[in-house]
Amino acid sequence: MLDNASYQAARHSAAVLKQPWLEGIIRLTGPDRVTWLQGMVTNDVEKLRPGEGVYAAHLSAQGKLIGQMIILVDTDEIWLTAETSNAKKLIAAFQPMIVMEDVTAEDHTGLLESIGVLGTSAKSALELWTGKPLQLEKLYDHFRFNDDCPHIVRSEMGFTLWVRAGMADATVQQLASHGATPIDETLWNVVRVENGLPIYGVDIDESTSLPELGEKGISYDKGCYIGQEVVARIKYIGHVNRRFVGVVCDGSDVPQPGSKVRFAGKDVGYITSSVESPAIHKPISLGFVNRLAAVAGTKVEVISGDHAIPAVISDLPMVS
């Protein structure tokens, strides 16, 4: 059972937690780092100025998702942040791609720790902690606070701090003393699902194409990159065969991951993540469904074990 006060803090005040599952970090240096990365990922890196960032993905030649990442551009280096479990896979994919370019890709996973600060008052709590105003207006804007905290990043659910390894516990305590409520991964996951954010290895993998998640992270105006032809072909066709959606269930049964989604008597998709949403007061899920069933408001059934749970398809995020 979730603690309601902690949930309200994560939504409507300020909450803080360590995020060891989001500590995959790759550092790029060298004079060719921008032009090289431009050919590796789906979004436009060349337009970014120091202090800016974007969401992007690295694809296979078949257009499938090898990994998702946040790209943070600094003056002399670029940082790629991803799921901890996927960092080695990403850097293993990148290394053979560096041929003649003057680029060095270093795996920094384990050298920095990730802290999330969530909620509508997250900015105020961070400003009390830093002693200065946070001028991070756009998503993924970031700045260097000090040597112990090389990045504070505006993220989807609030802010992400990167601190030196071994400093996360003390930093969480300091932020708690400035008004942020400590929470755990279970509560973070509830907010994540409500916001419709996929995790690689949980919701998405190498069977996923990026357009199935929507337009986020795709630039159709930049130059060539690996997998671009497949992404462009999907754009030309005008639709994907399945979409990543929200599913709002009736009753109290929380569907298990892998549960089938059924529409008009046919299996049309499956569930990847499920939680009980305090905001909606119902179980909610993320998953993939056939495009014909992916319209918000479509009534479906989720087959979880022996139970057929009435449900309805929702756009993302399910809770703003």
Segment 115-156, tens digit of pLDDT: 999 999 999 999 999 999 999 999 999 999 999 999 999 999
In the prediction, which pLDDT does 85 show?
A: 97
In the prediction, which pLDDT does 162 show?
A: 98
Rounded Cα distance between 96 and 89, Å, is 12
- Structural domains of the chain, ranges and CATH numbers in brackets: 4-193 (3.30.1360.120), 241-320 (2.40.30.110)
In the prediction, which pLDDT does 110 show?
A: 95
In the prediction, which pLDDT does 291 show?
A: 95
| Percent of the chain clearing pLDDT 70 (strictly above) | 100
Cα angle 213, 214, 216; round to 5: 100
The mean pLDDT of the chain is 96
In the prediction, which pLDDT does 238 show?
A: 83
Indicate if the pLDDT at residue 1 is higher than 80: no
For the stretch 13-41, pLDDT in tens is 999 999 999 999 999 999 999 999 999 99
For the stretch 105-117, pLDDT in tens is 999 999 999 999 9
For the stretch 215-271, pLDDT in tens is 999 999 998 999 999 999 998 888 899 999 999 999 999 999 999 999 999 999 999
Indicate if the pLDDT at residue 166 is higher than 90: yes
Closest C-alpha among 128, 129, 163 to residue 144: 163
Backbone angles phi, psi at 270, to 5 degrees: -155, 160
